[in-house]
Amino acid sequence: MGQICVVGAGHVGLVTGACFADLGNQVTCLDINSEKIERLQKGILPIYEPGLEELVRRNLQAGRLSFTTDYCQAVEPSDFVFIAVDTPSGTHGETEMRFIRSAAEMVGRYVGDGTIIVNKSTVPIGTGDLVAQIIQRVNGHEPFAVVSNPEFLREGSAVSDFMHPDRIVLGSSNREAANAVARLHSAFECPIIVTDLRTAEMIKYASNAFLATRISFINEIAAICDELGADIKVVARGMGLDKRIGPAYLDAGLGYGGSCFPKDVQALSHMAAAHGRRPQLLRAVMDINRDQRRLIVHRLRQLFGSLEGRQIGLLGLSFKPNTDDMREAASLEVTALLIQEGAKIRAYDPEAIEVARPLMRDVTMCSDPYQVAQGADALIIVTEWNEFKQLNLLKVKSLLNYPDLIDGRNIFEPQAMQDLGFVYYGIGRGQKPLAPIAEAVSESVHVKANMASKGPSTKARPPQIPPGGSLGEDRA
Ligand code: UDX
Ligand code: UDX
């Protein structure tokens, strides 16, 4: 056990503090955002994270967890000070370090004899040394140690991930300090890797970059599947049964978002380039991910030609299910691209609407998926929330102007959707895309259907796409 201070009561810091408190430690979470701290002191959380509210409230009441904005009150009595402030991307892809620097400065003022500073945030390789230099400068006479202890928490399952880690990674030049942090994690039955600071920091970046690479890899294979008529979901299953590959992070879709993968791949690529290396693979991973969002526009242009004035419905806004986090969410880029084309956007998300609203002022926020479908020309699945998987699809189809559904997360099956009368597109489901965009404008399904019906676009039912076929040959 120990007296712990966590600096930064955000997605990572709050989970870290609440979990350490639940393990019996005395924890003070500190944040510069006084409003956030006042709400936390009342047990009101600034974020949606399954299981976290109950954990915070239980430990608040037990007196093991407290919140403050006062560095002296938080740091001075602590044996361990975890730094979990955010490390966002800078303008050129480098990591914004000002929050780490200011936290280290403030911690430095109040470190006591033998305080162990633990970097929990994802920080550029070498930051452990920087933090030590800052603290040494601010408070040279007190002995202290710095340990890197990167987090591997997924939003939406962060509490579970903290309490059931695959491994604990510790890096330090001070072995005793690393062992003291290892003892904090003695409740977990998992391997503990103790190494140097830089290697521990690199384990975090390499892990996130590899997971992002798997996602861009499967998305590239999905694009080839669409051309060659294979189904990426079955391909991924066939791959994943190989123990050397495993099934995780092989879901094709609109690509990765969140506060980590985009930032960490970019930061690692930037670090490599800054040291004279050419991060070819990391750059390709980012390029593929960027292009995934554009798939939606491509498909819609194929269906409608011009998107000017089209009503497009989005289901899901958060960057992934079970969170309200909108950071680098695919919905942000999809919305911007569609509005650029003159489309009108309606959207619903089970948790993220209030977080998304100020980020998407031109979007009509709806109270449920059916309200989104009402009067929309097409529906896009952007985030795979469970509640979208059991929708009354016949009701959805009856509400849509056209039965067009683009499944950005492959939550439905093409044949079943076509049997229900949808014009269904998934990602990599083997449905050959139509002509290149230029031709699609004149050859678009609904433009030609409207010409044939010689009337304004009412609810003309476009022809069914045969599985793996394309609309071209049916449009004669
Ligand atoms: C975390 C890690 O810190 C980051 O490195 C990782 O890549 C993603 O997860 P996260 O917890 O998601 O970042 O950030 P956020 O939810 O924004 O929380 C950061 C908190 O630190 C905020 O509450 C902010 O107010 C606080 N903060 C920031 C401080 O208390 N002091 C500062 O100087 C800066
Ligand atoms: C990630 C890492 O998993 C975690 O270890 C690290 O600490 C923080 O970053 P997180 O970003 O919260 O966690 O979510 P994750 O579940 O990993 O998904 C990241 C993104 O990849 C999401 O946008 C998700 O939609 C996408 N994704 C994930 C895919 O597109 N396909 C997949 O197969 C898996």
Domain check: are 181 and 265 in the same one? no
- Let me know if residue 111 belongs to a domain: yes
Pocket test for ligand 2, best of 123, 216, 256, 268 (most atoms within 8 A of CB): 256
Nearest ligand, CA 328: 2
Please, which residues bridge with residue 381 across strands? 315, 407
Residue 244 has what DSSP assignment?
T
Q: Please give the pLDDT value at position 445.
A: 65
Q: Please give the pLDDT value at position 457.
A: 43
Q: Please give the pLDDT value at position 432.
A: 63
Take atom 5 of ligand 2 and give the residue whose Cα is closest: 152
Amino acid at 39: R
- The CA distance from 203 to 214, in Å, is 16
Take atom 33 of ligand 1 and give the residue whose Cα is closest: 99
Take atom 9 of ligand 1 and give the residue whose Cα is closest: 12
- For β-strands 364-365 and 65-68, DSSP reports them as unpaired
Ligand 1: residues with CB < 6 A are: 7-13, 31-33, 36, 84-87, 99, 102-103, 121-122, 259-260
Query: 249, 265, 260, 264: which is closest to 217 by C-alpha?
Result: 249
Ligand 2: residues with CB < 6 A are: 151-155, 208, 211, 215, 249-251, 253, 255-258, 260-261, 319-320
Which of 195, 218, 246 terminates a domain? The answer is 195
- Let me know if residue 215 belongs to a domain: no
Q: Which residue has the tokens 């510069």?
A: 32
Nearest ligand, CA 408: 2
261 CA to centre of ligand 2 in angstroms: 7
7 CA to centre of ligand 1 in angstroms: 8
- Let me know if residue 214 belongs to a domain: no
Nearest ligand, CA 251: 2
Answer yes or no: 5 catalytic: no
Domain check: are 182 and 269 in the same one? no
Q: Write the burial class of residue 166 (CB in 10 Å: 0-12 exposed, 13-18 middle, 19+ buried).
A: exposed
- The CA distance from 31 to 368, in Å, is 35
Take atom 27 of ligand 2 and give the residue whose Cα is closest: 256
Amino acid at 430: G
Domain check: are 282 and 172 in the same one? no
Domain check: are 67 and 166 in the same one? yes
Domain check: are 370 and 296 in the same one? yes
Domain check: are 12 and 92 in the same one? yes
Domain check: are 233 and 180 in the same one? no
Backbone angles phi, psi at 174, to 5 degrees: -110, 100
Domain check: are 389 and 466 in the same one? yes
291 CA to centre of ligand 2 in angstroms: 18
Q: Please give the pLDDT value at position 103.
A: 97
Q: Please give the pLDDT value at position 444.
A: 58
Q: Please give the pLDDT value at position 459.
A: 43
- The CA distance from 258 to 399, in Å, is 32
- The CA distance from 377 to 304, in Å, is 9
Crossing angle of helices 127-138 and 98-110, rounded to 10°: 40
Domain check: are 326 and 454 in the same one? yes
- The CA distance from 119 to 443, in Å, is 56
310: left (phi > 0), else alpha (psi -120 to 50), else beta? beta
- Let me know if residue 259 belongs to a domain: yes
Take atom 15 of ligand 2 and give the residue whose Cα is closest: 154
Backbone angles phi, psi at 163, to 5 degrees: -80, -15
Domain check: are 190 and 315 in the same one? no
Q: Please give the pLDDT value at position 170.
A: 98
C-alpha distances out from residue 108 to 117, 123, 138, 216, 430, Å:
9, 18, 6, 41, 58
Domain check: are 422 and 356 in the same one? yes
- How large is the greatest C-alpha to C-alpha distance in the chain, in angstroms? 85
Tokens of 386: 């469970």
Q: Please count the structural domains in the chain.
A: 2
365 CA to centre of ligand 1 in angstroms: 28
- Let me know if residue 222 belongs to a domain: no
Pocket test for ligand 2, best of 215, 216, 386, 407 (most atoms within 8 A of CB): 215
| Segment-wise mean pLDDT, segments of 10 residues, the chain, 476 residues | 94 98 98 98 93 98 98 96 94 92 96 94 94 93 93 95 98 97 96 97 98 98 95 98 98 97 96 96 97 93 95 98 95 97 98 96 97 98 97 98 97 96 95 50 57 46 40 33
- Let me know if residue 353 belongs to a domain: yes
108 CA to centre of ligand 2 in angstroms: 34
The answer to whether 331 touches 314, Cβ cutoff 8 Å, is: yes
CATH number at residue 154: 3.40.50.720
- The CA distance from 412 to 381, in Å, is 10
Amino acid at 385: W
Domain check: are 239 and 369 in the same one? yes
Atom of ligand 1 nearest to the CA of 12: 11
- Let me know if residue 201 belongs to a domain: no
**Domain around 401:** 228-476
- Let me know if residue 221 belongs to a domain: no
Q: CA-CA-CA-CA torsion for 397, 398, 402, 406, nearest 10 degrees?
A: -20
- The CA distance from 191 to 152, in Å, is 14
383 CA to centre of ligand 2 in angstroms: 12
Take atom 1 of ligand 2 and give the residue whose Cα is closest: 154
